[in-house]
Each structure stands twice: as C-alpha cells, then as structure tokens.
Amino acid sequence: MQLFYMPNISGNEIFLDEAESKHAVKVLRLGSGSRIQLTDGKGGFYTAEISNPNPKKCQLEIIEFKPQYGKRNFEVHIAIAPTKNTDRLEWFLEKATEIGVDSVSFLLCENSERKTIKSERLEKVVISAMKQSLKAYLPQINSLTSFEEFIRGTTSSLKYIAHCQGGEMSHLKNVVAKEDSVLILIGPEGDFSKEEITLAQMHGFREISLGTSRLRTETAGIVACHIVNLINE
C-alpha cells in the first residue's frame, strides 16, 4: 500500500499537491481509475480514485473515509535534547514515528551541543515516516525550548526524567501501566545537569532508568518510546 499525505481534505473531489501528484503519476505511473490511500495526519484515512492523472495537480474522488484510523488509548510525548549530529536526530524522529509517538519536544539544556534545529526539514522526516509506516496521525513537533521553560510549562500528570547520574531509580517498564499517557525527558550527550534533575523533581518528574547500558541520546529516546508502546500491545 502506498500512502499519500494531504493535510486539509474536504469534499469528495480533491487535488494532490505537486510533489504528491508527481510521485503518483510519474513515479508510480498511476492513471485514471487507480485507487490510492491518503491521510490528513489527524486520524482521517481515505481511499480515493484518480479521475485526472495530472502530474502537477492530480485530481481524486474520495470513495471511502475512515475517521480516527489507528487511534490509540494512550499518548507518548518524548522531550529530547537535539543531538549534535543532525542525521542521528532525524533517525530518532523517523524511528519514533514508525514505533508510535504523539509529540516530540526539543530541549535546550545546560550540556546541549546543538542549539538550533531546522523545523521544516524535521517535519518532512516525520511526514515521510508516517506515510511509510501507514499511520494516520502525524506526530506534533514542537520548537526548541529551554529546559527550565519546558519544565515549568508542562501540564502532564505522568512525567519522567531519564538520566545517568546513578542512585535508586525504577526501570521505565516497571512504572508505566497500560493506557498511561506519559511524558519522558531524554538529555543531551553530556546528560542532564544535577540542577536540571533537581528542578524536574521539584516539578513532579520521577527519575527512571532505561537499563544498565549507557545509551546515546537518540537511542535512549527510541528505547523509551518502544517500552511504552510494548506495554500497550
């Protein structure tokens, strides 16, 4: 199945944008009468038939609509410090989207090596991963925010901070229950500072472990995302 993305779908007759039109007509060589699947990234899953295979503005007719396709009864929000290597950051977003993540926030921490992100590029990575994994919900990608501002502004009830500072910490798999909607903080390559951990604790974050191995930032983000999804299978 080839899934196309169209953020605003209304009515029975719609047009793909130029990039998606070119992919459908020129790359996949679809013609009149061919059927394709689309998502609006908000849970809508559509089956449509091509009525005019124009490579710049492919016209479609909606023939089936499924609302809240693949909707889950839990949410995963990963707040992570962007890695110095952009490829690793994009890899994290791609795999987290495939596994199942609802929101990703980027944290500017005391030990952060990357202090800027290219939001437009990251959005493209997430859209591509959503389409590849046949999902109907596009994860929300939030802008880079200072650690303190994020901590003070969050309203999540179940929130955790993963770090490597030692001490008695429960493993994430032992504190998250099925259908829990969670927020998990993942630090930069140099980890969270002691002051950041203390601030998080003061605002209701619980310290958790992701295992005995020392993980790269992007790997820790994937492990946390996978654990929550696995608990809900």
Are residues 28 and 10 located together in one domain of the fold?
A: yes
Q: What angle do CA 40, 43, 49 make, to 5 degrees?
A: 50
Give yes or no: residues 98 and 125 share one domain: yes
pLDDT, mean of residues 13-32: 92
Residue 1 clears pLDDT 80, i.e. is over it: no
Residue 85 lies inside a defined structural domain of this protein: yes
Residues 169, 196, single domain; the answer is yes
- 96 or 165: which leads in pLDDT: 96
- For residue 8, the enclosing domain spans 3-66
pLDDT value for 2: 84
- Tell me: do 11 and 87 sit in the same domain: no
Among 46, 66, 86, the domain boundary falls at 66
**Are residues 150 and 91 located together in one domain of the fold?**
yes
Compute φ and ψ for 152, nearest 5 degrees.
Answer: -75, -20
pLDDT of 167 strictly over 80: no
Check whether 87 has a pLDDT greater than 90. Answer: yes
Does the residue 71 lie in any domain?
no
Residue 85: which pLDDT band, with cuts at 50, 70 and 90? very high
Flag whether pLDDT at 166 surpasses 80.
no
DSSP string, the chain: --EEE-S---SSEEE--HHHHHIIIIIS---TT-EEEEE-SBS-EEEEEEEE--SSS-EEEEEEEETTTT--SS-EEEEEPPPSSHHHHHHHHHHHHHH--SEEEEEE-TT-S-----HHHHHHHHHHHHHHTT-SBPPEEEEEEEHHHHHHH---SSEEEE-SS-SS-EEGGGT--TT--EEEEE--TT---HHHHHHHHHTTPEEEE--SSPPPHHHHHHHHHHHHHHHT-
95 located within any domain: yes
Domain termination residue (choose one: 20, 44, 66):
66
pLDDT digits (tens, 9 = 90+) for 184-231: 999 998 899 999 999 999 999 999 999 888 899 999 999 999 999 999
Same-domain pairing of 88 and 62 = no
What pLDDT sits at residue 168?
82
pLDDT digits (tens, 9 = 90+) for 51-79: 999 999 999 999 999 999 999 999 999 99
Which of 66, 90, 118 finishes a domain?
66
Please indicate, yes or no, whether residues 159 and 205 belong to a single structural domain of this protein: yes
Same domain for 114 and 54: no
User: What's the domain count of the chain?
Assistant: 2
Same domain, 125 and 159: yes
Average pLDDT of span 164-176: 89
CATH number of the domain that residue 110 is part of = 3.40.1280.10
How far is Cα 48 from Cα 31, in angstroms, rounded to an integer?
A: 12
In a domain, 192, yes or no: yes
Both 89 and 181 in one domain: the answer is yes
Q: Is the pLDDT of residue 8 over 90?
A: no
In terms of C-beta density within 10 A (0-12 exposed, 13-18 middle, 19 or more buried), how is residue 70 classed?
middle
Same structural domain, 11 and 105: no
What predicted TM-score, i.e. pTM, was given to this entire model?
0.92
**Does 121 score more than 80 pLDDT?**
yes
Q: Strand pairing of 159-162 and 182-186?
A: parallel
Specify the pLDDT at position 212. Answer: 87
